[in-house]
C-alpha cells in the first residue's frame, strides 16, 4: 500500500489545541510544502529514520434516518481510523488530526479511542468540524483506534461525494495521511450521498415533490 509522508517542524506537533481552524489549516498547507515522497512498499521505507506507521480509515452508514437506503441529510456515518505501528520499536508522540468537510458535522461526545486522550471532539463547545486525538506511545507492532460519528448536514441536490482523510503525526517529524483500504492505490475515504431536489409547484397547482435519489 502506498503511503505519503512529509517532514514537519517540532512546533507543529505541540501546537495548542485551542488554535482556530484557519491557523491549523494554514500550518497544514505548510507541511505539504516540505519534503514529501511516496513509497510503494515497506522495504523502501526502512532505514529512513522515521517510524513506519500505517493509517487506514473506513466509513459505514450508522443510522439511515429516512430509511431510504441512500446517504441523505440527517443520516449518521461512523468513521474508524486505525493507526498501526509496523516497526519493531515503539512510536512515541503519535497524534491524529481530522478536519471534516462542510457536508458533515461531528456528533460531539462520540469520539472513542483505544488509548491516549481526546483533545477535541467530546466536550461541549468543541468544534464540530475537527477531531484531535493524542494517542501517546503506540507499542511496536501494535495499533491504536479511534472512531466517531458524524451527521450529514449539507448536501447539494443530486449526487454528492463526501470525502475525508485523517492526518497522523509521529516521532521525528513524520506525517501520514490515511488511506481507504477498500480501494486500490492511495485514496481518501469517500462515500456517495444524495441531496434532495426542491419541491416544485406549477401554475396549474400540480405539486411535484423532489427526490433525494435517482
| Per-residue model confidence (pLDDT) at position 185 | 84
Q: What is the pLDDT of residues 58-83, one digit of tens each?
A: 999 999 999 999 999 999 999 999 99
Identify the residue with better confidence: 164 or 45.
164
CATH fold of 3-208: Immunoglobulin-like (2.60.40)
Is 45's pLDDT higher than 80? no
Is 178's pLDDT higher than 80? yes
| Per-residue model confidence (pLDDT) at position 172 | 76
Give the C-alpha separation, 149 to 184, whole Å.
25
| Per-residue model confidence (pLDDT) at position 210 | 57
**% of the chain with per-residue pLDDT over 90:** 64
In the chain, domain spans = 3-208
Is 84's pLDDT higher than 80? yes
| Per-residue model confidence (pLDDT) at position 16 | 36
Give the C-alpha separation, 86 to 73, whole Å.
38
| Per-residue model confidence (pLDDT) at position 205 | 57
Q: What is the pLDDT of residues 189-198, one digit of tens each?
A: 999 999 998 8
* pTM score, whole prediction: 0.73
Query: Could you say which DSSP state residue 90 is in?
Result: -
**% of the chain with per-residue pLDDT over 70:** 70
Is 117's pLDDT higher than 50? yes
Which helix (H) or strand (E) segment holds residue 12: the answer is helix 10-13
Q: What is the mean pLDDT of the chain?
A: 79
Give the C-alpha separation, 170 to 8, whole Å.
10
Give the C-alpha separation, 81 to 146, whole Å.
5
Is 44's pLDDT higher than 70? no
| Per-residue model confidence (pLDDT) at position 93 | 94
Amino acid at each position: 500500500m502506498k503511503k505519503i509522508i512529509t517532514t514537519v517542524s517540532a512546533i507543529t506537533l505541540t501546537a495548542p489545541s485551542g488554535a482556530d481552524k484557519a491557523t491549523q489549516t494554514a500550518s497544514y498547507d505548510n507541511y505539504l510544502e516540505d519534503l514529501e515522497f511516496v513509497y510503494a512498499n515497506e522495504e523502501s521505507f526502512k532505514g529512513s529514520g522515521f517510524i513506519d506507521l500505517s493509517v487506514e480509515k473506513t466509513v459505514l452508514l450508522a443510522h439511515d434516518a429516512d430509511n431510504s437506503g441512500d446517504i441523505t441529510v440527517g443520516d449518521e456515518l461512523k468513521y474508524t481510523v486505525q493507526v498501526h505501528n509496523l516497526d519493531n520499536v515503539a512510536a512515541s508522540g503519535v497524534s491524529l488530526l481530522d478536519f471534516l468537510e462542510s457536508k458533515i458535522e461531528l456528533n460531539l461526545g462520540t469520539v472513542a479511542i483505544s488509548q491516549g486522550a481526546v483533545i477535541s471532539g467530546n466536550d461541549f463547545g468543541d468544534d464540530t468540524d475537527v477531531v484531535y486525538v493524542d494517542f501517546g506511545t503506540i507499542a511496536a507492532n501494535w495499533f491504536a483506534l479511534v472512531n466517531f460519528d458524524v451527521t450529514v448536514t449539507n448536501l447539494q441536490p443530486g449526487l454528492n461525494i463526501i470525502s475525508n482523510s485523517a492526518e497522523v503525526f509521529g516521532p521525528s517529524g513524520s506525517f501520514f495521511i490515511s488511506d481507504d483500504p477498500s480501494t486500490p492505490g492511495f485514496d481518501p475515504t469517500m462515500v456517495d450521498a444524495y441531496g434532495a431536489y426542491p419541491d416544485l409547484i406549477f401554475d396549474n397547482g400540480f405539486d411535484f415533490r423532489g427526490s433525494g435519489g435517482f
